[in-house]
Every structure is written in C-alpha cells, then in structure tokens.
C-alpha cells in the first residue's frame, strides 16, 4: 500500500499470485453471500471507489484497515474512471487473500470487460502490467458474487439491476452468475443498500429508510464536488450509522487518463 501511495508498481509475479488466489476464492462463493455479524461487533459497507485509491486510503484512515474484527463490504464499481484503479483492485484483492472474512466484494456494472475497455481500466492494466492481465481480470470479475445479506436482516446489492418485484432471496442464491443470464429481479429485505449513483453527501436515504444509496468516491472524477460516504452497522440492531467524508489530494494524474481516446477528448 505504501508503494502504491508512492506510485510504484507491483511486480507482475506478485500481481499474478494475488489475482489467481482471489479467483479461486471467489469461484467457490455463492451468488448470494450470507454475512453474520456477532453481537457487539460491526460491519462497514462502502459504495463505488472508481479507481480513487487515495480516497480508499482515507477510508481506511478514518475507519481502520480491513480485518476479522473490522470487516468491509465493497459494493461494486471498484475500477474505471479514476486512474488508480489497478492499485485499488490489487489492494482489495490482497486483503481478501490475507483474511477472507475481512473483506467482501460484490460485482458492479464496471466489473465487466466492455466497460473496462471504454472507461480506463483496460488501458491502465496494459500500461502498468500487461495485456495478459486484462483477460485475467475479466475472468475474475465474472466470479464476483452478486449480492450480500447481513445477518438475514438487510440486503446489500451493488447497482440498479432489478425490474420485477416479489422475488425471494432463495431465487438469487440459485442464479448461475457464470452463465450469460443476468440478475433482473428485486428481492425483499428489511433494508437494501445499493450504490452506483453519485450523491452530494455520499449517500441518500429513500422509501422511509428502507433503501440507502452509498457512494464512496468523493469529488468524483475530480469535478463533481460531492462527498463520499460509508455505512457502519453494529450488531445486534444493525442500524445504519452513515459517515461522510471529503476528497483528499492525489498525484497529478487526471481521471480517465487511460480511457478510450474518444472519451478522453471530452473528459
């Protein structure tokens, strides 16, 4: 993490080890992951990071590093747009390898090959590692779970992918995320935490508190001026405690620096 902070690259050998080990761990996980939080303990949910590595470090500074006693869920959209996406994803994957119960990762719409080709992650991976890693990351992203349930009381889903009401959690468990089919139905839960959209304060509460959007990339793309946020849940009540934070400085590498040339003209 310190090397990344100083804009140093990880040797390809170690990057391979991290990504391959993460792939094996994710392959063994179900599409819907159950998370139990023991009474007196807490659990933190973060939204989109979008390659803003220095803001990720700030989250860890505010809330502590991921550990068995301080677990996190990152709710999709780790990469693209921000120009430190590789540092973000390797850091999250490394924590997953070091302590699987310290960190949980859900798939967002930017964990896909087509989005990565346009919005910068593919170009960044080619520049910092090699083209071989592009295919490897695409494969690993397909292994990411789709959603998480915290102690059977709340459901965390990464993005708006639902259009039909009335579907049970058991039906999500049966989804084969490795096939071409896609999750299109809305499960029932006491509280749904989603991400995917910029919010001025880093979060938004809707539907009488039953739906919370959390977005963890402050001053998105260096121009939106929004705050970031994360949510802490403490058992047994699991009431959401929302923490907002502002952007921190980062090296002078513009967002979308590795993006498709056409998009970069307008960034």
Residues with a known catalytic role: 110
Backbone angles phi, psi at 178, to 5 degrees: -90, -5
CB 105 within 8 A of CB 74: yes
Helix (H, G, I), strand (E, B) or coil at 116: helix
Q: Give the span between the Cα atoms of 15 and 225, in whole angstroms.
A: 33
Q: Give the span between the Cα atoms of 60 and 111, in whole angstroms.
A: 22
Order of strands across the sheet that contains 147-150: 32-35, 147-150, 154-156, 191-194, 211-214, 203-206
Helix (H, G, I), strand (E, B) or coil at 256: coil
Q: Give the span between the Cα atoms of 267 and 259, in whole angstroms.
A: 9
Rounded CA Rg of the chain: 17
C-alpha pair distances (Å), 166 with each of 57, 154, 172, 199: 39, 16, 12, 28
Residues 6+ positions from 61 with CB-CB distance below 8 Å: none
């Amino acid at each position: 993490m310190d090397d990344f902070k100083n804009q140093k690259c990880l040797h390809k050998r170690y990057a391979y080890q991290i990504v391959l080990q993460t792939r094996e761990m994710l392959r063994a996980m179900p599409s819907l992951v159950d998370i139990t939080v023991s009474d007196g303990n807490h659990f933190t949910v973060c939204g989109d990071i979008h390659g803003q590595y220095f803001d990720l470090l700030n989250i860890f500074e505010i809330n502590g590093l991921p550990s068995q006693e301080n677990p996190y869920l990152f709710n999709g959209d780790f990469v693209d747009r921000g120009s430190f996406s590789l540092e973000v994803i390797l850091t999250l994957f490394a924590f997953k390898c070091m302590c699987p119960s310290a960190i949980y990762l859900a798939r967002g719409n930017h964990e896909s090959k087509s989005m990565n080709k346009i919005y910068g992650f593919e170009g960044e991976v080619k520049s910092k590692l090699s083209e071989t890693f592009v295919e490897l990351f695409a494969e690993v992203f397909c292994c990411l779970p789709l959603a998480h349930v915290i102690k059977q009381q709340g459901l965390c889903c990464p993005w708006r992918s639902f259009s039909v009401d009335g579907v049970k959690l058991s039906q999500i468990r049966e989804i084969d995320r490795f096939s071409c089919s896609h999750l299109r139905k809305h499960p029932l839960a006491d509280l749904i935490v989603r991400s995917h959209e910029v919010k001025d304060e880093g979060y938004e509460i809707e539907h009488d508190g039953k739906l919370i959007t959390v977005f963890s990339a402050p001053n998105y793309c260096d121009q939106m001026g929004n705050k970031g946020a994360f949510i802490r849940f403490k058992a047994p009540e699991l009431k959401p405690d929302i923490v907002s934070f502002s952007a921190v400085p980062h090296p002078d590498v513009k967002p979308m620096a590795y993006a498709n040339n056409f998009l970069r003209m307008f960034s």
